[in-house]
Structure 1
Amino acid sequence: MLNKYYHTVSSLSGKRTGLIALAMAAILLPACTNDFAGREIGESEGNVTTEQVADNTNALLGQTVSVRSEPVRKVSASTFTISDNDFIDGETILVVNASGKPAAIPENTELQITGKVANFVVSDVETEYGLDLDPNLYREYESKPAIIAQSIAPAVKPGTLTTNPSAYYNQVIAVPAEVEKIVGNNAFTLDEDRLIGGQDLLVLYPQGQTPVRDGEKIVVTGVLRQFVVADIEQEYDFNWDTGFQRQLEAEYTNKPVLIAESVYPSAIPDIVK
């Protein structure tokens, strides 16, 4: 089965190259740590499409980006491919898992992949990241676009998490959604995407004041936990006032909560359908 991929509106116009270049300038900034306190969303890794990586590889070399796509083919235990579009002749991008942790690559499941853009050279990757790759498997990928991934996480909608949280507890996941409501300085909810029985997902942001706005389309990566206020407050050093703590307890006790590690602007304009 051919996997579904995503395209920006700019790729459909005759001015595709210029628009993509402008988009790159707007969203791609040097990579930094996940300390988001005191700055705006999007000042970390740039969230882009696989098409932009394929079409603008040289401009993005060495940049840390985040893309969302289904895997096309598993090449080895630590590598797989994604594609820039849903056509058979689309540019293939190799993803190398350099996170140091095994990553499950389920079929027909979107993944959020964050890492550096490179022109793949098997010997260079082996040396720099301490990987043991069989050169015979990578002949067709030599000197072609690749993402050396530091994070690979399944992308899951908020409604799925709130209706079946036990399947995702204590896992690192990526949640593409629209901001439903700012609850507090370090708390907001994500829209459940009209899933029957689903509820909005609470996100807590340990790094400081949340860098999001109501209605903004974003991707949040983090760990899903069961909300037990005493445990969460102590572990992440939240300093909630009594009234806000009671509000959270009343609305979210024992419900799923996403402890955010990173927040990105969405590169995909139609997250919510």
Structure 2
Amino acid sequence: MLHNSSLKNPKNIRLGAIALSLMAILLPACTNETTTREQALENVTTQQVSEETSNYVGQTVTIRGDINDVVGDASFLMDDEQLLGGEEILIVNASGEGITLPRGEGSQVQVTGEVRNFVIADLEREYGLDFDPNLYAEYEQQPAVIAQSIALSPDPGEITENPENYYYKRIAVQGEIEEIRQTGVFTIDEEELFGGEDLLVITNNPDPRVNEDESVTVVGTLRPFVKAEFDRDYDLTWDLDFQQEIEAEYQNKPVFVADEIYPSAL
């Protein structure tokens, strides 16, 4: 335990080193158990939103998937990375900050926002956005998510392979709990990949109901494990043997410090 002190229509878009001129903010920290339960209910797929829009209009949802295509200056198309032929949905960024995508062939993100039927006039008036009707006409009256928060959402294997792309950034990670080392400390891996290195997760909101082999999403910050820095920034209540064990295994390796954990939508 620790406490903190302190897009169908692809256009061969190269998402590697570009910085989207989309407006986004990082997901807010949340350690309240009630809020975590509420977020679990909101955690849905793009297919659910696309096919069951009436069930979600007006609700705030959290979805995770691939950026397929950028549309204009303030939106992109997103689908579920694990659902072949899944429905795309338009994500409209309405928050105000930029997000830089890491190098790679694709980018996954986690988005939290309100489900709306896309109406250009309404959104321009409410959010001060300017939509090119030539680009957005096909999306009129179609389901969209008006995003108030966006976080990069790489797979555990991407993080352990190229941690420098993600250090000190707020990200959302989806995976399967591989091993619980002790309450609030566990490893996750990718459910469909074998042989990859597991990612160690430390959470400041330990939940004894978390089980091995459970698919979860964790939200937080990645940082290299430097014991002196963790001692400085967190109140680690581990016993000496466990501290030495973690230090021996993970010194200078990526460790994910989570402040949210909830069941995966997939």
TM-score by length of 2: 0.74
Change (3 A) 1:42 1:78: same
CA distance in 1, matches of 2:157, 2:29: 29
The equivalent of 2:199 in structure 1 is: 201
CA distance in 1, matches of 2:132, 2:188: 42
How do 1:1-273 and structure 2 match up within 5 A?
34-37=30-33, 42-45=37-40, 46-83=42-79, 87=85, 92-104=88-100, 108-191=106-189, 194-196=193-195, 198-209=196-207, 212-268=210-266
Kindly provide the CA deviation profile for residues 143-166 of structure 1, in whole angstroms up to 9, marking residues without a partner as x: 210011233333322223223212
CA distance in 2, matches of 1:128, 1:261: 31
Contact map agreement 1:79 1:97 (CA 8 A) in 2? yes
Q: Which has the higher contact order (CA 8 A, sep 6+)?
A: 2
Contact map agreement 1:33 1:44 (CA 8 A) in 2? no
Which deviates further from its counterpart, 132-141 or 161-170?
A: 132-141
CA distance in 2, matches of 1:130, 1:210: 45
CA distance in 2, matches of 1:263, 1:205: 8
Q: What SS does the corresponding residue of 1:72 show, helix, strand or coil?
A: strand
Kindly provide the CA deviation profile for residues 184-243 of structure 1, in whole angstroms up to 9, marking residues without a partner as x: 2222111255554x3211111123446521110112222211011232243244443433
Report the residue type matching 1:117 in the other structure. Answer: V
CA distance in 2, matches of 1:176, 1:241: 29
The runs of 5 or more residues in structure 2 that have no matched partner are 1-6, 11-27
Change (3 A) 1:48 1:126: same
Contact map agreement 1:97 1:148 (CA 8 A) in 2? yes
TM-score by length of 1: 0.73
Contact map agreement 1:60 1:117 (CA 8 A) in 2? yes
Contact map agreement 1:71 1:107 (CA 8 A) in 2? no
Report the residue type matching 1:167 in the other structure. Answer: N
Q: What SS does the corresponding residue of 2:48 show, helix, strand or coil?
A: helix
Runs of 4+, deviation exceeding 4 Å: 1-4, 39-42, 83-87, 104-107, 192-196
CA distance in 1, matches of 2:38, 2:231: 27
Q: What SS does the corresponding residue of 2:99 show, helix, strand or coil?
A: coil
CA distance in 2, matches of 1:82, 1:123: 22
Kindly provide the CA deviation profile for residues 168-190 of structure 1, in whole angstroms up to 9, marking residues without a partner as x: 21223332211012222222111
The runs of 5 or more residues in structure 1 that have no matched partner are 5-31, 269-273
Contact map agreement 1:179 1:217 (CA 8 A) in 2? yes
Query: Pairwise CA RMSD of aligned residues?
Result: 3.2
CA distance in 1, matches of 2:218, 2:72: 28
Contact map agreement 2:47 2:88 (CA 8 A) in 1? no
Which deviates further from its counterpart, 259-268 or 50-59?
A: 259-268
Which deviates further from its counterpart, 184-193 or 199-208?
A: 184-193
Give the number of aligned pairs: 237
Report the residue type matching 2:39 in the other structure. Answer: S
CA distance in 2, matches of 1:127, 1:236: 44
CA distance in 1, matches of 2:54, 2:242: 49
